[in-house]
Amino acid sequence: MGTKFRAAVITLFLSSLLLDQLVFSESNDGLIRIELKKFKLDENNRIAARLIPQLPDSPNDGVIVGLKNYQNMQYYGEISIGTPPQKFTVQFDTGSSNLWITSSKCYFSSACHSKSKYYARRSRTYKKTGTPARIGYGEDSISGRISQDNFVVGGLTIKNQVFVEATSLPDSEIYTNTKFDGILGLGFQEKSIRGVVPIWYNMMYQGLIQNRVFSFWLNRNTEEEEGGEVVFGWRPDSRHYMGDHTYVPVNRKGYWQFDMGDVTINGKHLGVTGLSAFPDSGCSLLLGPTIAITMLNHEIGVDREDNPKCKSIVRMHGQQILNMLLIKEKLEKICSLIGLGRVQGKKSNNERTFMSNICEMIVAWMEIQRRKNQTEDVILNYVDELCDSMPQNQQRQSTVNCLRISSMPIVSFLIGGRNFTLSPEEYVLKTIGGGCISGFRSLDIPHPIGYTWVLGAIFMGRYHTVFDYGGMRVGFADAA
């Protein structure tokens, strides 16, 4: 999911002027290291696909792939495809299970013009399938055809890897402004398109790595040469974390999803419990359900925006909703009982759906406060204020006063019995125009995933993250 640079568009990929030369060495711990050396490059220039050297065969206890960091919004690394190898940059994305690269046959999408492209006819190991493919990303999608070729990742050659040659990309700023040529998904096969085995699985199946684990370090200091790294097949690089990892079991294959506890703001519980979470290296922000994100952004003090439709429900029906909660009316029935529910068996118009969604959030907010034993007046006033912190457009960022950053609260996420904290300097992002926005953004994931926290680069940059396929668990430790 990370991408760009006008505050209005920082979401799907949200996350360079720098190009890296590769220097290979083997360390005493059995890891093959790929060190990155930077030099300046004109942003308007693109480097055509070029050769990448192949490392000699080794026991392959593990490999490290160096990452580039573009403005803490995009992290990407280098791979090669085919024989002779063609070089590309990809986003190593734990929030996806699919593998796609921009094709030489991507003619008509403006986003294709800024990408290095894969030329199937130039590779002796290319195998054609011709099967059409489509990968959806929210309202956008990429389309192309299924192909097969050899891939080199961190010096490992993965043979006969099936992937999507993308012949059409969305003509949106999100895709046009990304610094990478494709996505290398590191999620579970259960979430990949039919018939495509994720490259991470083939590393295991082809015996290229001995340990079924990989880890991420994302460097949040854009001034340093190293942008980050992915370690495949071995213990994490101890230079990049401190202390022990806190592990939690994966509760659902697809995403690296686990059960998470409550969120606290300066020790004050938000009251939103029972949700899952998953770390997503392809997302720049920290996402969550609108119900929770509105409360969180309200507590940290985002700039308010008048929301008359939400306020009208609170002022017209707030007391009635509270009365129903007191008699323990089922939450899902309350909006229908006051005439703001969804129309069963019929397709609701956009306005009706919008008002129903707001009503359901108001009911949830009131119930959370009622469980905290707040008085009726406090509940009604609090929810009325929440309305002005609720995002009326999911494409719009919640802004904050840059002068207030030092006085903003600490936000903590309870994972595996430990509170993982984020300071305001870590969760507030500064825009190119000099403004500041909250790194917390709403995303309501549909059934069957449902209400979920998405821990993007804001979180993974603060906490070194281990993805343990063998143990079916995820681990976090303080990044160093």
User: Two tokens at 238?
Assistant: 């101890």
Instruction: Give the list of residues 6+ apart from residue 146 with CB closer than 8 angstroms, or none.
Output: 129, 130, 131, 132, 133, 162, 163, 164, 165, 195, 196
Q: What is the mean pLDDT of residues 317-339?
A: 95
CATH of domain 242-300+398-479: 2.40.70.10
Per CATH, 7-235 and 242-300+398-479 having the same topology is answered: yes
* Percent residues over pLDDT 70 in the chain: 85
Give the active site residues: 93, 280
User: Is residue 283's pLDDT more than 60?
Assistant: yes
* Weakest-pLDDT range from 321-325, 328-332, 404-408: 328-332
Q: Between 9 and 332, whose confidence is greater?
A: 332
User: Is residue 6's pLDDT more than 60?
Assistant: no
CATH C-level class of 7-235: mainly beta
Report the predicted TM-score, pTM, of the whole model to 2 decimal places.
Answer: 0.85
Q: What is the mean pLDDT of residues 439-463?
A: 90
Residue type, 4: K
Residue type, 98: N
Which pLDDT does position 433 carry in this prediction? 86
* Weakest-pLDDT range from 26-35, 127-136, 139-148, 244-253: 26-35
Contact 455, 279 (CB under 8 A): yes
CA 2-4-5 angle, 5° bins: 145
Token match 């990809």: residue? 90
User: Two tokens at 127?
Assistant: 């195998």
CA distances from 457 to 93, 200, 333, 375, 426 (A): 11, 21, 38, 38, 10
Task: Give the domain ranges of the chain.
Answer: 7-235, 242-300+398-479, 308-387
User: Two tokens at 408?
Assistant: 């903003």
Which pLDDT does position 405 carry in this prediction? 97
CA distances from 128 to 107, 131, 150 (A): 19, 9, 13
Mean of the per-residue pLDDT values of the chain: 86
Token match 């207030």: residue? 404
Token match 């429900």: residue? 313
Q: What is the mean pLDDT of residues 386-403?
A: 86
Taken in order 53, 54, 55, 60, the sign of the CA dihedral is: positive
Alpha carbons 328 and 472: distance in angstroms, whole number: 39
pLDDT tens-digit map of 180-229: 999 999 999 999 998 789 999 999 999 999 899 999 999 999 889 999 99
